[in-house]
Amino acid sequence: MIQQLATDVVARALKLGATEAECTVAEGNEFSASVRLGEVEQLKEAGSRGAGIRVLIGQRTGSATTSDLTKEGVERMVRAAIDNASVTTDDPFAGLPDAAELGSIDVDLETYSEAVEQLEAEWKIAQAKAAEAAALQYDPRITNSEGGSFDTYLSSRAFANSRGFSGLARSSSCSIAAIPVAKEGEKMERDYWFSIARRPDRLEAADLVGRLAAQRAVRRLGARKVSTQKVPIVFEPRIARSLLGNLFEAVSGDSIYRQASFLNGRLGERVASEYITVIDDPTIPGLFGSWPFDDEGVRARRKVVVDRGILKTYLHNTYTAKKLGTSTTGNAARGLAGNAYVDHGNFFLEAGSKTSEQMISGIKSGLYVTELMGQGVNVVNGDYSRGAAGMWIENGELAYPVSEITIAGNLKQMLLDIEEPGADLEFRGSVASPTLKIREMTVSGN
Site for another protein in 81-120 (CB under 8 A): 81, 83-91, 94
Residue 84 CB, shortest distance to another protein, in Å, is 4
Buried (b) or exposed (e) across 264-293, using 16+ Cβ within 10 A? eebbeeebbbebbbbbbbbbbebbbbbbbb
Strand partners, 431: 347
Interaction of residue 157 with another protein, rule CB under 8 A:
no
Task: With beta carbons less than 8 A apart as the criterion, state whether 163 and 99 touch.
Answer: yes
Pick from 252, 328, 406, 435 the residue near another protein by CB under 8 A. 406
Residue 29 CB, shortest distance to another protein, in Å, is 11
> At how many degrees (to 10) do helices 206-219 and 121-138 cross?
30
Which pairing describes strands 229-235 and 365-373: parallel, antiparallel, or unpaired? parallel
Residue 364 CB, shortest distance to another protein, in Å, is 20
Within 250-269, which residues bind another protein (CB under 8 A)? 258-260, 262
User: Would you say how long the chain is, in residues?
Assistant: 446
Q: CA 413 → CA 270, 408, 435, distances in Å?
A: 11, 11, 18
Within 323-362, which residues bind another protein (CB under 8 A)? 336-339
Residue 183: is it exposed, middle or buried by C-beta count within 10 angstroms (0-12/13-18/19+)?
A: middle
Within 169-228, which residues bind another protein (CB under 8 A)? 181, 187-190, 220, 223, 225, 228
Pick from 39, 72, 114, 201 the residue near another protein by CB under 8 A. 39
Task: Please tell me the distance from the alpha carbon of residue 363 to that of residue 435, in angstroms, as a whole number.
Answer: 15
Pick from 10, 13, 26, 66 the residue near another protein by CB under 8 A. 66
Residue 57 CB, shortest distance to another protein, in Å, is 11
Residue 355 CB, shortest distance to another protein, in Å, is 29
Pick from 6, 7, 10, 50 the residue near another protein by CB under 8 A. 50
Pick from 7, 56, 62, 253 the residue near another protein by CB under 8 A. 62
SS3 38: coil
Pick from 1, 4, 38, 42 the residue near another protein by CB under 8 A. 42
Pick from 78, 251, 349, 405 the residue near another protein by CB under 8 A. 405
Task: Please tell me the distance from the alpha carbon of residue 404 to that of residue 445, in angstroms, as a whole number.
Answer: 7
Task: Please tell me the distance from the alpha carbon of residue 133 to that of residue 61, in angstroms, as a whole number.
Answer: 53
Over the window 115 to 144, marking each residue x when it contacts another protein by CB under 8 A and - when it does not, the resulting string is: -----------------------------x
Task: Please tell me the distance from the alpha carbon of residue 374 to that of residue 104, in angstroms, as a whole number.
Answer: 38
Pick from 103, 286, 387, 429 the residue near another protein by CB under 8 A. 387
